[in-house]
Structure 1
C-alpha cells in the first residue's frame, strides 16, 4: 500500500509559513499608525477612516516590481524589492494628494524559503515606514509547480486618503507654470526588460563602480519614496499637479496631469546625467527619445506649480533632503504637437 500523504509531501511546508508569520509580526508592528483596528493574523485587516475630514476620499493604487525580480533572483539581492513594491503604489496615490494609510502585500512562491521571504517582507515594512503607512496585512502563497525554486512574485496595494476639495488633478495647471523634478535613486522599477537585455549584451563587471557603488547595487537601488516631503510641501505651497515617473518615462507620465491644450517642455541639461543612465544608453545604444520613453532618466517625481512658488518649494524640498531641479515649463500646445517635449542638453 502507498504511505499516507501530507501537505508537506505535496510541497507545502505549513510550518515554514507559520515561521514566516512570526518573523513578519515584529516588522509590521513598527509600521503601525492610528487607525489600525486589526492587522496581521486576522482574516481581514481593518482600518478606521481618520477623523477631521469633511469629505474624505479614499485613493488606492496597486503594482508589482516587474522583471527587476529576475535580477534579484540572479544576484541574490532580496532586501530592496520590497521597498520598490511599496513605493510604486504609495508614490502613485501621492500624485492625487493622498496620504497613504495602509498597505497589503501578496508574496507567491513555489517553495517557501523563510529567510528570503523575511528579507523581502523586511523591505516592504521599511518601505511602509518611509511612506508613513501601516503594513496591515497580506498573503503568502506557497504553490509547488507554479514557480521554480528560489523564485517568487510580488504584488501589493496601498490605500490613502485626501480631502475631496484638495484632490490634485490637471484642472489647476496653467501655461507659465514651472516644472520641478525630484531626483530618482536610479532606475527604480521600470524598464528592466531593456536593462536585462543591455546587461546580456555588455556582460559587464558588476563590481565596477557606478555613481559611487558597485554596478549591481546601482541597478538594484530601490525606488525613492517621495511621500513625506511632498505631503509637507503641499501643505505650504500651492502645488498644481504631480506626476510619478514610472513606466512610460518622462514623456508618457507628465501628460497624464496636463490639460489637452498644454505641453510640458523639459530641458535635458537642467539636471545632471547619472553614470548609470549614461552607461545604459551607451552600452545599449539606446536612442535619446527611447531613453525618455522607457526610463525616468534621473527624475522620479515631477511637481507643477506657479512660477513664483518655484524657489520657496525648492528651498523646502532641499531642507527635507531632496535633490530638486527646475527642469522645465508648461506652455500652450500647438495642434499635433507632443504633450511632452524633451530638449537634448547642449
Structure 2
C-alpha cells in the first residue's frame, strides 16, 4: 500500500523518459524500412527479427556472425557534436569482418545506451547505422535503446552492433588448402584510421595542443571532421569476386594493422610478405607519425596505413581481380605475396 505522506515517484522522476524512447522508435522506423532487403520477414517491434535464407538466394548456407563497437572514436563524436558518422563505423567494423569469411552481410542489430536520451543525438547515430547498412547491403532489423540514468556522463553514450551474414559452403573463406607460395596480395584503400588507434590519436592531438575544431593539418576540414571520416564498407566490391571463386582469402585491416591482420587468413606454412613502398599512405598517417614521433613499426602495428582490406589471389587471376575492383571504383595495389613460412 502506498504511503500518502510520500511524494509519488514515476519512472520519469528516476530519469527514464518512456515517451522520448517512443519518439525515437517512431523516428527509427523509416530509417530501418529503407534498408529492407530480400529475406527480411516482418518489421520492427517484435520480440525477435526473422530472416528467410532461402528467399535471400542461399542453397547450402553457413551463417557467419560478428559483433563490435566503435571504440574511443566515440569520444571525438562527443567533443565535436558530430554524431551521424559513428553509426557507419559501427556497421563497417562488423560487416567487413564477416565479409572476410566470404559472407554477405544480411542483417544488423544495434545497441545504443545512454544516461539520458537527448533530442536528435540517438536519431543521428541511428541514421548513420542505417546508412552503413545501406552501403553494405544488409537490413537494419532491430536493436536496443537503453536509457540508464547515472551510468554515463551527460552527452555520452555507448554503441555496439551485431551482424549476421551468410555464405554458401563452397565459397567460405579463407580457402587455406588452395593457398600457395607466390599467391599475390592485393590491397584496396581505407578512408583513414577507420575505427582503430584512436586512443593514440587522441593522445597526439592533446600533446599537440590542438582542438577538434582546429584546422586539420592534413586536409581542408576541421581536425574533428577529418578524424571522424567513417570506415569504408567493402561488400559491394568484394562479394562478386568471392562468388566467382577468384578470392582465396580476405583480411580486414583493423587493430593490429597489416602486421597482425594479414597473417590471420594464411595457413601456418605460409606468411605474407608486404612491400611497404608499394603504396603511399594518406596524409593523416604522415601527420600522426610526425606529430607523435611514432616509429614505423608501431604505425604499421596500430593503424591500417591506408589499406582497408587485403585479397589473396592466384597470380593468374590478379589482372581479372584488379580490373573488377577498378570497375567497382577501387584503386587496387599489389602489396606483396605469400611466401613459405
Q: TM-score, normalised by structure 1?
A: 0.93
Give the conservation status (yes or no) of the 8 Å contact 1:172–1:241: no
Shift of 1:247: 1.2
Structure 2 residue aligned with 1:158: 163
Q: Distance in 1 between matches of 2:336 and 2:34?
A: 39
Structure 1 range deviating more: 82-91 or 309-318: 309-318
Structure 2 residue aligned with 1:184: 190
Structure 1 residue aligned with 2:34: 30
Output one character per residue of 1:100-155: Cα deviation in whole Å (capped at 9) or x when no partner.
11000000000011300000000000000001000000000000000011000000
Name the SS for the 1:210 alignment partner: coil
Q: Distance in 1 between matches of 2:43 and 2:300?
A: 41
* Alignment match of 2:23 (pick from 19, 35, 47): 19
Q: Distance in 2 between matches of 1:190 and 1:315?
A: 29
Shift of 1:311: 1.7
Structure 1 residue aligned with 2:64: 59
Counterparts in 2 of 1:273 and 1:211: CA distance versus 1, 3 Å? farther
Give the conservation status (yes or no) of the 8 Å contact 2:171–2:245: no
Structure 2 residue aligned with 1:3: 7
Shift of 1:325: 0.9
Structure 2 residue aligned with 1:193: 199
Q: Distance in 2 between matches of 1:204 and 1:172?
A: 50
Output one character per residue of 1:184-220: Cα deviation in whole Å (capped at 9) or x when no partner.
0001001111111111111236323524433322211
Structure 2 residue aligned with 1:213: 221
Q: Distance in 1 between matches of 2:230 and 2:216?
A: 19
Q: TM-score, normalised by structure 2?
A: 0.95
Structure 1 residue aligned with 2:282: 274
Counterparts in 2 of 1:214 and 1:325: CA distance versus 1, 3 Å? farther
Q: Distance in 2 between matches of 1:40 and 1:207?
A: 42
Q: Distance in 2 between matches of 1:235 and 1:213?
A: 39
Q: Distance in 1 between matches of 2:152 and 2:320?
A: 50
Correspondence 1:99 to 2:107: no
Gaps of 5+ in 1: 334-346
Root mean square deviation, CA, Å: 1.3
Give the conservation status (yes or no) of the 8 Å contact 2:91–2:129: yes
Structure 1 range deviating more: 265-274 or 277-286: 265-274
Q: Distance in 1 between matches of 2:224 and 2:118?
A: 23
Structure 2 residue aligned with 1:135: 140
